[in-house]
Structure 1
Amino acid sequence: MANKVRGQIAAKFQGEKINLVLSTNSICELEDATDQGIDEFLEKFMPGKKVRMKDLRLMFWALMLDERPGATIAEAGALIDELRGDHDRIMTQAILAAFPDAEGDTSGK
Protein backbone atom coordinates (compact mmCIF):
# COMPACT_ATOMS: atom_id res chain seq x y z
CA MET A 1 0.00 0.00 0.00
CA ALA A 2 1.29 3.47 -0.88
CA ASN A 3 2.22 5.73 2.00
CA LYS A 4 1.43 9.31 0.96
CA VAL A 5 3.26 10.66 4.03
CA ARG A 6 6.43 9.14 2.57
CA GLY A 7 5.54 10.53 -0.84
CA GLN A 8 4.56 7.18 -2.34
CA ILE A 9 2.03 7.17 -5.17
CA ALA A 10 0.40 3.85 -6.04
CA ALA A 11 0.18 2.66 -9.63
CA LYS A 12 -0.33 -0.61 -11.50
CA PHE A 13 2.53 -2.03 -13.53
CA GLN A 14 2.61 -5.41 -15.23
CA GLY A 15 -0.37 -6.61 -13.18
CA GLU A 16 1.15 -5.61 -9.83
CA LYS A 17 0.90 -2.58 -7.60
CA ILE A 18 4.01 -0.45 -7.51
CA ASN A 19 4.73 2.51 -5.27
CA LEU A 20 6.30 5.41 -7.10
CA VAL A 21 8.32 7.94 -5.11
CA LEU A 22 10.73 10.75 -5.82
CA SER A 23 13.16 10.16 -2.97
CA THR A 24 16.54 11.69 -2.26
CA ASN A 25 18.26 8.66 -3.78
CA SER A 26 16.12 8.63 -6.89
CA ILE A 27 16.65 12.37 -7.35
CA CYS A 28 20.42 11.79 -7.20
CA GLU A 29 20.13 9.03 -9.82
CA LEU A 30 18.06 11.36 -12.01
CA GLU A 31 20.62 14.15 -11.64
CA ASP A 32 23.42 11.74 -12.59
CA ALA A 33 21.49 10.50 -15.63
CA THR A 34 20.66 13.99 -16.89
CA ASP A 35 23.71 15.92 -15.67
CA GLN A 36 21.25 18.53 -14.39
CA GLY A 37 20.14 19.62 -10.95
CA ILE A 38 16.62 18.61 -9.96
CA ASP A 39 15.32 22.19 -10.18
CA GLU A 40 16.63 22.56 -13.73
CA PHE A 41 15.18 19.18 -14.73
CA LEU A 42 11.75 19.92 -13.21
CA GLU A 43 11.53 23.23 -15.09
CA LYS A 44 10.92 21.13 -18.22
CA PHE A 45 7.55 20.10 -16.76
CA MET A 46 6.26 23.59 -15.99
CA PRO A 47 2.95 24.65 -17.57
CA GLY A 48 3.37 25.84 -21.12
CA LYS A 49 6.55 23.85 -21.72
CA LYS A 50 6.69 21.11 -24.34
CA VAL A 51 7.90 18.03 -22.52
CA ARG A 52 10.18 15.63 -24.34
CA MET A 53 9.10 12.00 -23.96
CA LYS A 54 12.70 11.10 -23.09
CA ASP A 55 12.50 13.41 -20.08
CA LEU A 56 9.12 12.04 -19.04
CA ARG A 57 10.47 8.50 -19.29
CA LEU A 58 13.51 9.43 -17.18
CA MET A 59 11.23 10.91 -14.54
CA PHE A 60 9.20 7.71 -14.31
CA TRP A 61 12.40 5.66 -14.20
CA ALA A 62 13.48 7.69 -11.18
CA LEU A 63 10.04 7.25 -9.60
CA MET A 64 10.38 3.46 -9.91
CA LEU A 65 13.86 3.15 -8.40
CA ASP A 66 13.03 2.98 -4.70
CA GLU A 67 10.78 -0.02 -5.13
CA ARG A 68 12.61 -1.53 -8.11
CA PRO A 69 16.31 -0.58 -7.94
CA GLY A 70 17.02 -2.51 -11.13
CA ALA A 71 14.32 -0.75 -13.14
CA THR A 72 15.26 0.08 -16.71
CA ILE A 73 14.44 3.08 -18.86
CA ALA A 74 12.43 0.76 -21.14
CA GLU A 75 10.35 -0.41 -18.16
CA ALA A 76 9.64 3.23 -17.32
CA GLY A 77 8.32 3.71 -20.85
CA ALA A 78 6.13 0.63 -20.46
CA LEU A 79 4.81 2.00 -17.16
CA ILE A 80 3.83 5.28 -18.85
CA ASP A 81 2.03 3.29 -21.56
CA GLU A 82 0.15 1.27 -18.92
CA LEU A 83 -0.94 4.42 -17.09
CA ARG A 84 -2.99 5.35 -20.16
CA GLY A 85 -2.86 9.10 -19.76
CA ASP A 86 -2.88 9.18 -15.95
CA HIS A 87 0.87 9.80 -15.90
CA ASP A 88 0.55 13.60 -15.53
CA ARG A 89 -1.50 13.31 -12.34
CA ILE A 90 0.81 10.69 -10.86
CA MET A 91 3.96 12.60 -11.72
CA THR A 92 2.54 15.84 -10.29
CA GLN A 93 1.53 14.10 -7.05
CA ALA A 94 4.99 12.56 -6.72
CA ILE A 95 6.75 15.89 -7.27
CA LEU A 96 4.50 17.69 -4.79
CA ALA A 97 5.04 14.91 -2.25
CA ALA A 98 8.82 15.16 -2.68
CA PHE A 99 8.79 18.93 -2.18
CA PRO A 100 5.88 19.60 0.20
CA ASP A 101 7.08 23.11 1.08
CA ALA A 102 6.55 24.14 -2.55
CA GLU A 103 2.92 23.06 -2.54
CA GLY A 104 0.75 26.13 -2.79
CA ASP A 105 3.67 28.48 -2.07
CA THR A 106 3.18 31.60 -4.14
CA SER A 107 5.21 33.90 -1.91
CA GLY A 108 8.30 33.71 -4.12
CA LYS A 109 10.55 33.08 -1.09
Structure 2
Amino acid sequence: MGNPHRGEVSLPAGDNTHVIRFTMNSICRLEDHLGKPVTEIAALLQNPAGFRMGMARAILWAGLLDKNPEITIEAAGDIATDVGIPACMHAIGKAFSLAFPNKQEDVADRPQKAATD
Protein backbone atom coordinates (compact mmCIF):
# COMPACT_ATOMS: atom_id res chain seq x y z
CA MET A 1 0.00 0.00 0.00
CA GLY A 2 1.24 3.47 -0.85
CA ASN A 3 2.39 5.79 1.91
CA PRO A 4 1.25 9.37 1.10
CA HIS A 5 3.81 10.77 3.57
CA ARG A 6 6.49 9.39 1.26
CA GLY A 7 4.71 10.64 -1.86
CA GLU A 8 3.30 7.20 -2.70
CA VAL A 9 -0.10 6.51 -4.26
CA SER A 10 -1.65 3.04 -4.49
CA LEU A 11 -3.01 1.92 -7.84
CA PRO A 12 -5.14 -1.25 -7.55
CA ALA A 13 -5.11 -3.36 -10.72
CA GLY A 14 -6.97 -6.65 -10.43
CA ASP A 15 -5.21 -8.83 -7.86
CA ASN A 16 -2.20 -6.49 -7.71
CA THR A 17 -1.68 -3.10 -6.15
CA HIS A 18 1.01 -0.96 -7.73
CA VAL A 19 2.68 1.99 -6.01
CA ILE A 20 3.32 5.22 -7.89
CA ARG A 21 6.01 7.55 -6.54
CA PHE A 22 7.96 10.23 -8.34
CA THR A 23 11.55 10.36 -7.10
CA MET A 24 14.44 12.43 -8.37
CA ASN A 25 15.70 9.45 -10.36
CA SER A 26 12.34 8.56 -11.87
CA ILE A 27 11.67 12.18 -12.83
CA CYS A 28 15.07 12.39 -14.53
CA ARG A 29 14.30 9.23 -16.49
CA LEU A 30 10.92 10.67 -17.46
CA GLU A 31 12.51 13.93 -18.64
CA ASP A 32 15.07 11.99 -20.66
CA HIS A 33 12.40 9.73 -22.17
CA LEU A 34 10.07 12.57 -23.17
CA GLY A 35 12.76 15.14 -23.95
CA LYS A 36 10.91 17.71 -21.85
CA PRO A 37 11.60 19.36 -18.47
CA VAL A 38 9.38 18.35 -15.58
CA THR A 39 7.76 21.79 -15.49
CA GLU A 40 6.54 21.31 -19.07
CA ILE A 41 5.33 17.78 -18.26
CA ALA A 42 3.41 19.11 -15.26
CA ALA A 43 1.85 21.86 -17.41
CA LEU A 44 0.77 19.28 -19.98
CA LEU A 45 -0.93 17.26 -17.22
CA GLN A 46 -3.13 20.32 -16.70
CA ASN A 47 -3.86 20.80 -20.42
CA PRO A 48 -5.93 17.95 -21.88
CA ALA A 49 -5.82 19.50 -25.38
CA GLY A 50 -2.06 19.02 -25.65
CA PHE A 51 -1.81 15.77 -23.73
CA ARG A 52 -1.01 12.51 -25.52
CA MET A 53 -1.63 8.94 -24.35
CA GLY A 54 2.05 8.14 -24.85
CA MET A 55 2.80 10.77 -22.23
CA ALA A 56 0.35 9.18 -19.80
CA ARG A 57 2.01 5.82 -20.29
CA ALA A 58 5.49 7.33 -19.85
CA ILE A 59 4.49 9.22 -16.70
CA LEU A 60 2.95 6.08 -15.20
CA TRP A 61 6.09 4.11 -16.11
CA ALA A 62 8.30 6.67 -14.37
CA GLY A 63 6.08 6.64 -11.30
CA LEU A 64 6.29 2.86 -11.05
CA LEU A 65 10.10 2.72 -11.30
CA ASP A 66 10.76 3.35 -7.59
CA LYS A 67 9.13 0.08 -6.49
CA ASN A 68 9.70 -1.81 -9.75
CA PRO A 69 12.95 -0.64 -11.41
CA GLU A 70 12.79 -3.28 -14.16
CA ILE A 71 9.31 -2.34 -15.41
CA THR A 72 9.02 -1.63 -19.11
CA ILE A 73 7.02 1.19 -20.61
CA GLU A 74 4.83 -1.41 -22.35
CA ALA A 75 4.07 -3.07 -19.00
CA ALA A 76 3.05 0.34 -17.64
CA GLY A 77 0.68 0.66 -20.60
CA ASP A 78 -0.81 -2.75 -19.77
CA ILE A 79 -1.37 -1.63 -16.17
CA ALA A 80 -3.06 1.56 -17.38
CA THR A 81 -5.33 -0.52 -19.62
CA ASP A 82 -6.21 -2.86 -16.74
CA VAL A 83 -6.92 -0.02 -14.32
CA GLY A 84 -8.68 2.24 -16.79
CA ILE A 85 -7.44 5.57 -18.06
CA PRO A 86 -9.48 7.79 -15.68
CA ALA A 87 -8.31 5.95 -12.55
CA CYS A 88 -4.76 5.88 -13.85
CA MET A 89 -4.75 9.62 -14.58
CA HIS A 90 -6.20 10.37 -11.15
CA ALA A 91 -3.43 8.36 -9.45
CA ILE A 92 -0.73 9.99 -11.58
CA GLY A 93 -2.06 13.45 -10.78
CA LYS A 94 -2.19 12.71 -7.07
CA ALA A 95 1.36 11.27 -7.02
CA PHE A 96 2.67 14.24 -9.02
CA SER A 97 1.08 16.68 -6.58
CA LEU A 98 2.66 14.79 -3.66
CA ALA A 99 6.05 15.02 -5.35
CA PHE A 100 5.65 18.77 -5.90
CA PRO A 101 3.56 20.20 -3.06
CA ASN A 102 2.21 23.68 -3.69
CA LYS A 103 2.20 24.92 -0.13
CA GLN A 104 5.16 25.28 2.19
CA GLU A 105 3.16 23.64 5.00
CA ASP A 106 2.74 20.51 2.84
CA VAL A 107 6.52 20.17 2.86
CA ALA A 108 6.71 20.85 6.60
CA ASP A 109 4.15 18.09 7.30
CA ARG A 110 6.26 15.42 5.64
CA PRO A 111 8.56 13.43 7.91
CA GLN A 112 12.23 14.20 7.26
CA LYS A 113 14.84 11.51 6.70
CA ALA A 114 17.47 11.23 9.38
CA ALA A 115 20.87 12.52 8.34
CA THR A 116 23.43 9.82 7.73
CA ASP A 117 27.17 10.45 7.89
* SS of corresponding position for 2:10: strand
**Percent sequence identity over aligned pairs:** 27
The alpha carbon displacement at 1:102 in A equals 5.6
Q: Which runs of at least 4 in structure 1 moved beyond 3 Å after TM superposition?
A: none
Which residue of 2 is the match for residue 65 of structure 1? 65
Contact between 1:20 and 1:94, CA under 8 Å: does it hold in 2? Answer: yes
User: Which stretch of structure 1 is more off in the superposition, 14-23 or 50-59?
Assistant: 14-23
Which residue of 1 is the match for residue 89 of structure 2? 88
Structure 1 portions without partners, runs of 5+: 104-109
Q: TM-score, normalised by structure 1?
A: 0.84
* SS of corresponding position for 1:57: helix
User: Which stretch of structure 1 is more off in the superposition, 10-19 or 57-66?
Assistant: 10-19
Q: TM-score, normalised by structure 2?
A: 0.79
Q: Give the root-mean-square deviation of aligned CA atoms.
A: 1.8
The alpha carbon displacement at 1:49 in A equals 2.7
Report which of the two structures shows the higher radius of gyration computed on alpha carbons.
2
Matches within 5 A, 1:16-95: 16-84=16-84, 85-95=86-96
Distance (Å, rounded) in 2 between the aligned partners of 1:6 and 1:90: 15
The alpha carbon displacement at 1:79 in A equals 1.1
The alpha carbon displacement at 1:100 in A equals 0.9
User: Which stretch of structure 1 is more off in the superposition, 69-78 or 84-93?
Assistant: 84-93
Say how many residue pairs are matched: 103
